[in-house]
């Protein structure tokens, strides 16, 4: 959550930055209105409280002077009732402001390029040369039919569209990729963790999925439980409402989980193949850091994901997202986009974000710096989306006869 005190002090600066993330004027106007209502409610309460204190002192003074205190006691009694009402009004105004603030995105960093959408993202670098073929490369669903790897029709039969079944080598390759990715990350200093796939609403709110993205979540009927859209949610919330020791930071974690998304806002895009599934495997990186170290950790996470792709011999590019393409919680984000020759384009396979203290403020994750408690910075990134890595291997390593070459680093995991 954004810092409401700072927002109130520097509203025009916040307004300018939030507009670069396509925040509507109506939301900002409503915020300004609620700030005014809260300010007035506090003012009314404080004035009534000052009167109460003044008259309470007068009672003591009158009693010393042996004056009749009947009338002033009645005034104090009536003002006490008024104070309770004004306190309720102040609390309700504060709750309305905080509820609205939960739907306000994080501010972009000053060095994030300004732009409306993905067309304004900035290329940082390309890694590895794209493969050349003596034949027209095919897309992964065509290759799957030749090799019997992915059964989309049975996925629909078992569940509905955008579910699939992996068989034979594909199922083993998925497992191999997960093991390889976790091993790779642990060698880079990330501790492996196994977390629940179901979490409560406080956990979802802590990382920004609720209330903003409720329509994209799978909720369990009659339970305060949701299927996770990413391991970022439980990993970050491991430390919700805790005060950490500065000496324990940074905390660097990695986990493999299934992820579940309704893809409510996808608008029918990428309905074919493994690009946009309702259920998919992903290996995640999460870090909890002091503010001073978070940029350094961010670069480590980008390098970790990029080096992982390089080790799998997958050409990719590193993109700096512009303000209009940043996610809700992100202050800055770098995407890694893998080359898919069958589709003749790059596709996102990893997204690394620094949320600064935005999630920490929502989840109340702090660290003790001497005698003072400060908000941590939280970071997260895909390392990698396993299904997209599988299809990238298929398309980049396809042979003319339809067979698929397995990257050398994975062969030991398939024995």
Which residues belong to the active site?
261, 276, 348, 351, 388
For residues 83 and 45, the answer to whether their CB atoms sit within 8 Å is yes
Q: Which residues contact 403 (CB under 8 A, 6 or more apart)?
A: 147
Positions of E strands within 217-269: 226-227, 242-245, 251-260
For residues 17 and 330, the answer to whether their CB atoms sit within 8 Å is no
Instruction: In whole angstroms, give the CA distance from residue 291 to residue 368.
Output: 13
Positions of E strands within 26-154: 122-127, 150-151
For residues 237 and 209, the answer to whether their CB atoms sit within 8 Å is no
Helices 169-187 and 386-396: angle between axes, nearest 10 degrees: 110
**Which helix (H) or strand (E) element contains residue 273?**
none
**Which helix (H) or strand (E) element contains residue 323?**
none
For residues 46 and 86, the answer to whether their CB atoms sit within 8 Å is no
For residues 212 and 328, the answer to whether their CB atoms sit within 8 Å is yes
Q: What is the CA radius of gyration of the chain?
A: 27
DSSP for 150-166, written as a single string: EEHHHHHHHS-TT--EE
Residues in the chain: 415
| Chain mean position to CA 189 | 22
Q: Which of 212, 215, 275, 246 lies closest to 366 in space, CA to CA?
A: 246
DSSP for 2-36, written as a single string: --HHHHHHTHHHHHHHHHTTT--HHHHHHHHHHHH
Cross-strand bridge partners of residue 361: none
Q: Which of 228, 199, 200, 207 lies closest to 216 in space, CA to CA?
A: 228
């Amino acid at each position: 959550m954004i810092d409401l005190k700072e927002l109130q002090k520097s509203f025009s600066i916040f307004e300018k930055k939030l507009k670069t993330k396509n925040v509507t004027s109506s939301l900002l106007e409503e915020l300004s209105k609620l700030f005014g209502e809260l300010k007035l409610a506090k003012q009314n309460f404080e004035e009534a409280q000052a009167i109460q204190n003044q008259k309470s002192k007068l009672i003591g003074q009158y009693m010393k002077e042996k004056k009749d205190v009947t009338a002033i006691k009645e005034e104090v009694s009536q003002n006490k009732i008024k104070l309770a009402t004004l306190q309720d009004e102040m609390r309700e105004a504060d709750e309305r402001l905080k509820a609205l603030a939960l739907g306000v995105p994080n501010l972009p960093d000053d060095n994030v390029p300004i732009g409306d959408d993905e067309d304004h993202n900035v290329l940082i670098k390309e890694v590895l040369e794209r493969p050349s073929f003596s034949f027209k490369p095919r897309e992964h669903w065509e290759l799957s039919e030749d090799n019997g790897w992915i059964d989309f029709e049975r996925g629909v039969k078992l569940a509905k569209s955008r579910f699939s079944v992996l068989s034979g080598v594909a199922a083993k390759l998925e497992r191999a990729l997960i093991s390889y990715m976790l091993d790779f990350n642990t060698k880079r200093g990330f501790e492996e963790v196994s977390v629940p796939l179901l979490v409560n609403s406080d956990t979802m709110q802590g990382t920004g999925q609720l209330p903003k993205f409720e329509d994209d979540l799978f909720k369990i009927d009659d339970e305060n439980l949701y299927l996770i859209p990413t391991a970022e949610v439980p990993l970050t919330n491991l430390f919700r409402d805790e005060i950490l020791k500065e000496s324990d930071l940074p905390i660097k974690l990695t986990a493999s989980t299934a992820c579940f998304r309704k893809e409510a806002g996808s608008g029918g895009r990428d309905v074919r193949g493994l690009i946009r599934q309702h259920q998919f495997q992903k290996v995640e990186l999460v870090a909890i850091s002091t503010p001073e170290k978070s940029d350094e950790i961010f670069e480590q996470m980008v390098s970790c994901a990029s080096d992982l792709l390089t080790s799998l011999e997958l050409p990719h590019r590193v993109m700096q997202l512009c303000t209009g393409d940043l996610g809700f919680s992100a202050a800055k984000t770098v995407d890694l986009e893998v080359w898919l020759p069958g589709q003749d384009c790059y596709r996102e396979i990893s997204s690394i974000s620094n949320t600064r203290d935005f999630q920490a403020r929502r989840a109340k994750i702090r660290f003790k710096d001497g005698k003072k408690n400060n908000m941590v910075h939280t970071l997260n990134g895909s390392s990698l989306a396993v299904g997209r890595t599988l299809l990238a291997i298929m398309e980049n390593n396809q042979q003319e006869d339809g067979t698929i070459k397995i990257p050398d680093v994975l062969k030991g995991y398939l024995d």
